[in-house]
Amino acid sequence: MAINPIDRCWRCKKNWAKNRKRLAKCVLGFGHKTRGGKKGEYYLVTDNSDDDVVNPKLGTLRHAVIQKRPLWIIFAHDMNIKLSKELMVQSHKTIDARGENVHIAYGCGITLQFVHNVIIHNIHIHRVVRSSGGLISDSEDHYGYRTVGDGDGISIFGSSKIWLDHISMSESQDRLIDAIQGSTAITISNFHFTHHDHVILLGASDTYSKDQYMQVTLAFNHFGKELIQRMPRCRWGYFHVVNNDYTHWKLYAIGGSTHPTIISQGNRFIAPDDPLTKEITHRNYAPESEWRNWIWRSEGDRFMNGAFFVTSGPPSPPHLKLKKKDIIKAKPAIFVGRLTKFSGTLKCKEGVKC
């Protein structure tokens, strides 16, 4: 069975449940230094309630994520968790739902603000709504007032060393994933995205120049049914889009402003039937006199049903100080269907290869 190199690192092991922390060795791309809660104890979530966001109940997901110490968070059984306020996650955490069917839905989303070293793995996140704001705990010994939230599925704000993997996402009130305000060292892999308009935003604004240091890898994701645009929409930084399967979009797939560097390698792009939406790229935020200098590369991509990628920039990208582990080596685009076959959440059972 052909699987991608991230999955191959752990999924073929029958004893994955006895050695869950092996997962932390498997991240590739710009988030490759992320270890989550590998150095911490296991925390078993037994209660799906979220009634008290200031003094969370022991055994709830909220109580687990606000602890200051490293933790590897797992779940006792299948759960549907309706977050009453945004979930503020502390540094050095792994949320690992393998083996159980865990949904975060019909409530607020997950916020990673000024934290680092976080892994979120194998969770369904859908139908996320705006947070009403108010008092919320962001650590075990601190709570503060939060303004009204946008309704993002996962919001990454001023954070680094983040790995999001094998998540099924759809239907948030705002974006599915938002990474802004100087966030960097992020890998987004093995997602299955469906049923949404503004899918991924990477970069806060055209005036926030600190996002020039942003580095994000998108690998082995399936952009599926009823998606419209922003897969992703980028500003300022360096974005490696590798071996993803784009089977649906209604406006465009990859967009950007403020001279982002976008390297697209080994992806499959299947254009919609509408003749006006065949172009993968979108730079309508700037005149051609400006965007023709941006470095947007397509290397080894596969274009189907009339899809086309408009490249730009100098013939050879300038020298960038990237380490070998920062860049996932692209497989031929013809294999993308196999590389993304198991995107989204996995149905894992103990004692069996996942």
What is the distance between the alpha carbons of residues 149 and 107, in angstroms, rounded to a whole number? 11
- The question of whether 130 is a catalytic residue gets the answer no
Task: Return phi, psi of residue 326, to 5°.
Answer: -70, -25
In this structure, what are the phi and psi dihedrals at residue 324, rounded to the nearest 5 degrees? -55, -40
Query: What separation, in Å, do the N-terminal and C-terminal C-alpha atoms of the chain show?
Result: 12
Tokens, residue 297: 């590369």
The enclosing H or E element of 40 equals none
CA distances from 38 to 22, 70, 86, 164, 313 (A): 9, 7, 24, 15, 41
Catalytic residue (choose from 35, 230, 268, 283): 230
Measured distance CA(109)–CA(289) in Å, rounded = 39
Q: How far is CA 265 from the centre of its chain?
A: 18
Query: Omega into 232 within 30° of 0, i.e. cis?
Result: yes
CA distance 54 to 249: 40
Three-state SS string over 269-309 comes to: EECCCCHHHCECEECCCCCHHHHCCCCEEEECCEEECCCEC
Going by C-beta distance under 8 Å and a sequence separation of 6 or more, which residues neighbour residue 276? none
Cα separations in angstroms, 138 against 86, 152, 252, 342: 10, 17, 37, 34
Residues 32, 189 contacting (CB under 8 angstroms): no
Active site residues: 230
